[in-house]
Structure 1
Amino acid sequence: MKDISFADYLLVGLAVTTLVLAAEERVSCPKLCVCEIRPWFSPSSVYMEAPTVDCNDLGLFDLPMILPSDTQVVLLQTNNIAKIEHPLDYLPNITEIDLSQNNLSSISDVNIGHLPQLLSLHMEENWICALPDNRKALCWIQVIPTND
Structure 2
Amino acid sequence: GMMNLGFLTTFLSDPLISGFTTGSAIHVFFSQIKVAFGVKVKRYSGPFRIILSCKDFFPNIYKTNLVTLLATVVAVIVLIIIREGINNRKWFKKTFRGVPVPGELILIIVGTLLSHHFSLQEDYAVEVVGNIPTGFPAFSVSFVQYLPDVIGE
TM-score range (shorter-chain normalised) is under 0.3
> Normalising by structure 2, what TM-score?
0.21
Q: Relative contact order (C-alpha < 8 Å, sep 6+): which is higher?
A: 2
More strand by share: 1
Name the structure where helix makes up a greater proportion of residues: 2
Q: What TM-score, normalized to structure 1?
A: 0.21
